[in-house]
Amino acid sequence: MQDKDLNEYNPSGSSTSKPFSCSHQLCELGPNCPNPKQQCPYTVNYYSDDTSTSGFLVEDVLHLVPGHDDVSNKSVQAPVVIGCGSKQTGGYLNGVAPDGLLGLGLGEISVPSFLAKAGYIRNSFSLCFNEDDSGRLFFGDQGIAGQQTTPFLPLDGKNLTYIVGVDTCCIGSSCLENTEFQVLVDSGTSFTFLPDQVYERVVNEFDRQVNASKSSFEGYPWQYCYKSSSHGVPKLPSLTLKFATNNSFVVSKPVFVIYGTQGAVGFCLAIQPTDGKIGTIGQNFMTGYQIVFDRDNFKLGWLRSNCQDPIYGDGMPLNPSGNSNSPNSLPSTEQQSPPNGQAVAPAVAGRTPSKSSATCESCLPKFFILLLLTLRVSQICIV
């Protein structure tokens, strides 16, 4: 895969950019437009720090490349809808704001939905976050036969979002009673939230087993933080989520390490409580795994991966021309709806280390690959 420098995105400077009008059936705020020919507006509100973004939707082209084993070697130029923000509030105004958001939900306006509806890929994708917070995104990947899986659960009788059911939480060899809960799997959230009752049982057991002195660090949101010794972070008890399918997910990175001038000075169990019934698995719990969102079969899959040598399952033959169904004919306006009416907090984004864009040496051909790079954009863009 070839490395490329990414420039700031400006719709007026793009030869393929098109306005997305209020009259389009996918314009959710269209009925509020004074003129149907005006550009479609959007507003997204987040529950953290009164954070929001608003602006206008545009249509542009997403360039995708197949794995290097594909004899056709044909790239795809797929039309997608993106939102370019003109007004940001809260967390978007400080130094940890992301450069943009990539919509991967089940709504018809998300990127995977556009690509699958147009016939470019199977209705599935996988992503992989490395230890250095870089990662890769594979459109059309359904994983392999040997991966562990658990079904997605409906929300209010509808398949609107990526929710799974956890049967039990385990710390080390101790599996805790009354830790059954439902959780939203969301790559757009940096860290993990557990329902209050489950949170208390998990953190108390972790605190009991960890061999370190409890401490606090200013500016960090977690309640269970500890001092590092002169030898660094001690050996930590494992944190495991067990599912009804008799499969388990061992979290490879449950703590956030805090560094000073002389190295690691402490660490925190990177979990926060939520008063809702549904928790959120964030990016930190996904680290070290290839996570498969199989939307065709409505299930979540996972397998260990270093993200530089990922394992791919069967995708679909490359179809650069798509099919006759244009993305402009998508019928539904339903979007991914987080539980409890709360939008998901945006990820804390930093610059991706340069090694994250290293060439993939073993990419297979049957799906499209997009590096998860933090883009330098002058406007916050969502899709």
Domain boundaries, the chain: 1-126+312-383, 144-311
User: What DSSP designation does 329 have?
Assistant: G
- Give me the pLDDT at residue 88, please: 82
* Per-residue pLDDT tens digits for 173-202: 999 999 999 999 998 888 999 999 999 999
The pLDDT > 70 percentage for the chain reads 74
* Cα(143)–Cα(140) distance, integer angstroms: 9
Average of per-residue pLDDT values in the chain: 78
More confident residue, 236 or 10: 236
The predicted model gives 30-47 an average pLDDT of 85
Least confident window among 29-38, 161-170, 193-202: 29-38
* Cα(168)–Cα(248) distance, integer angstroms: 9
Query: C-alpha 300: how far from its chain's center?
Result: 13
Q: How confident is the model at residue 318 (pLDDT cuts 50, 70, 90)?
A: very low
- Give me the pLDDT at residue 90, please: 80
Q: Please name the amino acid found at residue 278.
A: I
The pLDDT > 90 percentage for the chain reads 41
Query: C-alpha 314: how far from its chain's center?
Result: 22
Instruction: Return the number of other C-beta atoms located less than 10 Å from residue 296's C-beta.
Output: 10
More confident residue, 101 or 365: 101
The predicted model gives 267-289 an average pLDDT of 94
The predicted model gives 190-217 an average pLDDT of 96
Fold of 144-311: Cathepsin D, subunit A; domain 1 (2.40.70)
